[in-house]
Amino acid sequence: MLSYWEKTTLRQFDLIVVGGGIVGLFTALFYSKQHPKHRVAVLERGLFPEGASTKNAGFACFGSISELENDLKNLGHSEAASLVMSRYDGLQILRNELGDDRIQYQEVGGYEVCFDSPDEQRVEFFNNLIEPYLGQRPYSVVTKKGFGFSSKVDCLIRNKLEGTIHTGEMIAALQEKVSKAGVVSFTQTEVLQIDDYNQGKKVLVKTLGESVELIATQVALCTNAFSKRFMPEENIEPGRGMILLSKPNEAFNWKGSFHYHEGYNYFRTINNRLLIGGGRHLDREGESTLENGINKKIEDSLKSDLRMLFGAESHIEIDQAWSGIMAFGENKKPVIKRIDPHLVAGIRLGGMGVAIGAAVGKRLAGLLGA
């Protein structure tokens, strides 16, 4: 039962953002900058954001050559290049807003692992493709020295402009900034339903086992893979991603973000531990789920990859495993749109939300302000 104060003040907002991941938090932040006097709330069903934003690998990447090959086939020249630029620009927004030191951004290079010698002409082709947009030629073929690779690895294609962040620090910094901007964040608050109400929306939430109606002039859906209940017609496919983390090991004293199998698999180091993940392509059906969990087939394959990459004698011990849920669609572009006069959505970030999350939030806040 709500009190007079709750009914007349505390449950009323100018903007309610549903979803407390990277997109939801950046949407709230940019909107509050434009409308400092407006009351803004972020509603998150988990204690932490329970999707992908606190589960990811922290790659600050915008495109490896094998990934670009695919994009080029599916999208053509200018679309593929503009996809790369949107990721690159998104990373600049993230870094400017939160600061490199705070998010531990390190431009240590992105590396594509080559099991055969690469076609140098192809590397030059992609440098030529990217140069007019970035003003730089990011790709070069480098030796595999210094990373402890087995003889299975031939060499690496380096993208000098890519790097890594600390995902936990990034979300912590963002949560602090959003709070300083005056945004109220509610966790363990699941939105069940959104309906029209006077000149706005009423948002039915479940908290402490109770249902409560909140009122807002505008609502922003930032629920990524979990958006079907609000947008049943939208093309959104969930995709689970899995990560294994090794015990600390002095061999993992190098830095860099590494990809193989066209970007489906990846690894990096964090505090002398090796983080390896991906492999969704090995069981697309099984991984097309909204439930977290560990897929044994993929776990075994990642462990076997470790032996292949670093040699059977490397004895890498796994300490932790976790998963997160991403959202995919018919193409790699996020959905950023107004649904009705009081509802917008910024969803379907694919596997590149660290790179584009801040930019999607900025665009969504712009849509709300328009």
The residues of the shown chain that bind ligand FAD, judged by CB under 6 A, are 18-24, 43-46, 49-53, 55-59, 190-191, 222-226, 241, 243, 277, 324, 326, 349, 351-355, 357
CA distance 159 to 183: 37
Q: Which is nearer to ligand FAD, 63 or 277 (CB)?
A: 277
Would you say 51 or 109 has its CB closer to ligand FAD?
Answer: 51
Nearer to ligand FAD, 316 or 356 (CB): 356
**Nearest CB to ligand FAD, comparing residues 150 and 268:** 268
- Taking the least distance from each CB to ligand FAD, the nearer of 120 and 196 is 196
- Of 109 and 351, the one with the shorter C-beta distance to ligand FAD is 351
Half-sphere exposure in the Cβ direction for 256 (13 Å, CA) = 20
Specify the residue, 222 or 367, whose C-beta has the smaller distance to ligand FAD.
Answer: 222
What amino acid is encoded at 208 in this protein? L
Concatenating the DSSP letter of every residue in 50-74 gives -SSTTTS--EE----HHHHHHHHHH
* Dist CA 62 CA 70 (whole Å): 14
Where does residue 347 fall: left (phi above 0), alpha (psi -120 to 50 degrees), or beta otherwise?
beta
Cα dihedral across residues 256, 257, 258, 262: positive or negative: negative
C-beta of 334: minimal distance to ligand FAD in Å?
8
Q: CB of residue 91 vs ligand FAD: minimum separation in angstroms?
A: 9
Smallest distance from ligand FAD to CB 74, Å: 19
Distance in Å, CB of 33 to ligand FAD, minimum: 18
Coil, helix or strand at residue 305: helix
Supply the minimum distance, in Å, between the C-beta of residue 326 and ligand FAD.
5
Q: Give whichever of 200 and 241 is closer to ligand FAD, judged by the CB atom.
A: 241
Residue 117 CB, shortest distance to ligand FAD, in Å, is 27
25 neighbors 357 (Cβ within 8 angstroms): no
Q: Which residue is nearest to ligand FAD (CB)?
A: 51
Question: What minimum distance in Å lies between the beta carbon of 164 and ligand FAD?
Answer: 8
* Least gap, CB of 27 to ligand FAD (angstroms): 9
Distance CA 262, CA 30 (A): 34
Long-range contacts, 175-182 (Cβ 8 Å, 24+): 175/25, 177/29, 177/97, 177/98, 178/25, 178/28, 178/29, 178/32, 178/42, 181/28, 181/29, 181/32, 181/33, 181/36, 182/32, 182/36, 182/40
- Please list, residue by residue across 337-359, b when 16 or more beta carbons sit within 10 angstroms of its beta carbon and e when fewer do: eeeeebbbbbbbbbbbbbbbbbb
